[in-house]
Amino acid sequence: MLHGSLAGRLYLPLIAAPMFLASGPELVIAACRSGIVGAFPALNQRSTEGYARWLDQIEAGLAQGPLAGVAQVGPHAVNLVVHKTNQRLQADLKLTVERRVPVVITSLGAAREVVEAVHSYGGLVFHDVISVRHGEKALAADVDGIIAVCGGAGGHGGTLNPFAFLYELRRLTDKTLILAGALSTGRQVAAAVVAGADLVSMGTRFIGTQESPAAAAYKQLLLETSAGDIVYTPKITGVNASFIARSLRDNGIDLDRLGAHGAVDMAEELGPESKAWRDIWSAGHGVGAVRDLPPAAELIRRMRVEYSQALDEVRARA
Ligand SMILES: Cc1cc2nc3c(=O)[nH]c(=O)nc-3n(C[C@H](O)[C@H](O)[C@H](O)COP(=O)(O)O)c2cc1C
């Protein structure tokens, strides 16, 4: 069930997902002013001070109110990586609490102290998982919602089928369940809701918008890429992730020759020397639906129309 603080508040049950180097304040502002949840990773800024400046920018943008036709501004969300190699976690969490960021999306670890800190000011914590076991652990840490990152997702995607994964998570909880992975249209948001999801988290489709800070050549490549061009491998970062085959080739990477990657290290993966994400471009299986690069508000309006039409069709058939 959708958390009470979000019920009836969103223009579309959608999160513009946090993406390393591919989402930033402009995209968050456009998403929230369009009435959905707009998210970004704190680590997209090099320092906690930079993260604070982005919060200033986002708060000023959201103070302009919702766009025409939208009832309410959606809540903004920050992604915090809860892992021992993320040396910024404590400072970023402190700032998140001071600034009362409405939604926190945690990835890798589900830590009770992070959840308690966010609950102290009434914020919500949604946690990314790729397995039911990790969902159980997150519920034990008292998160408010679980993001089921399924097979075909961009970034560090999972492998589970969305129907099966949602079904098993729903048996564990009636808290907010968010479906992520290869969802790129309004009709697919409707399908996720019919399947039992409360919200959808969409990444790849939002790289293909005017406001994404991704490189122009990356956006252009998305327009020419389809599901079959996505390679899922642990060899680039140490954790399974989806990359565009042509981007691997353009960076001279031959996966057959590449040895196994060592343990995941956030300082290395998300550091200035890292090529992963900056030069080696990621997308999910839903990339085939990225065939134009509109402003985010236009995309969200379009998806809202597709969503309503799809639900009307379902009702008519029923
Ligand atoms: C380029 C890229 C970078 C990402 N970086 C992050 C990240 O820093 N933190 C995070 O929690 N998820 C990250 N993700 C995952 C997204 O938040 C989301 O779960 C995923 O994109 C959903 O699948 P989709 O791309 O198929 O829509 C990233 C995804 C992409 C495509």
User: Domain locations in the chain?
Assistant: 14-214+286-317
Question: Ligand 1 centroid to 225 CA: how many Å?
Answer: 17
* pTM score of the predicted model: 0.96
| C-alpha closest to that of 166 among 186, 196, 123 | 196
Question: Ligand 1 centroid to 219 CA: how many Å?
Answer: 15
Which residues does a 6 A CB cutoff place in the pocket of ligand 1?
Answer: 17-20, 22, 41, 79, 105, 107, 128, 149, 153-155, 180-183, 201-204, 282-284, 286
Whether residue 54 contacts residue 23, with contact meaning beta carbons closer than 8 Å, is answered with no
Question: Ligand 1 centroid to 117 CA: how many Å?
Answer: 24
Mutate which of 15, 19, 86, 285 to test ligand 1's pocket (most atoms within 8 Å of Cβ)?
A: 19
Question: Ligand 1 centroid to 243 CA: how many Å?
Answer: 11
CA 152 to ligand 1: nearest atom: 26
Integer Cα distance of 140 and 138 in angstroms: 5
Measuring from atom 15 of ligand 1, which residue has the nearest CA?
Answer: 155
Give me the CATH code for the 14-214+286-317 domain, please. Answer: 3.20.20.70
Residues facing residue 280 across a β-bridge: 276
Q: How many alpha carbons lie under 13 Å from residue 232 in its C-beta half-sphere?
A: 15
Segments in the chain below pLDDT 50? none
Integer Cα distance of 98 and 36 in angstroms: 23
Longest dimension (CA), the chain: 55
CA 242 to ligand 1: nearest atom: 31
- Amino acid type, 73: V
Integer Cα distance of 285 and 82 in angstroms: 26
Within 10 Å of residue 173's Cβ, how many Cβ atoms? Answer: 16
What pLDDT, on the 0 to 100 scale, is given for residue 237?
86
Integer Cα distance of 274 and 50 in angstroms: 19
Question: Ligand 1 centroid to 105 CA: how many Å?
Answer: 11
**Token pair in block for residue 182:** 């290869």
Question: Ligand 1 centroid to 17 CA: how many Å?
Answer: 6
Whether residue 129 contacts residue 122, with contact meaning beta carbons closer than 8 Å, is answered with no
What pLDDT, on the 0 to 100 scale, is given for residue 267?
62
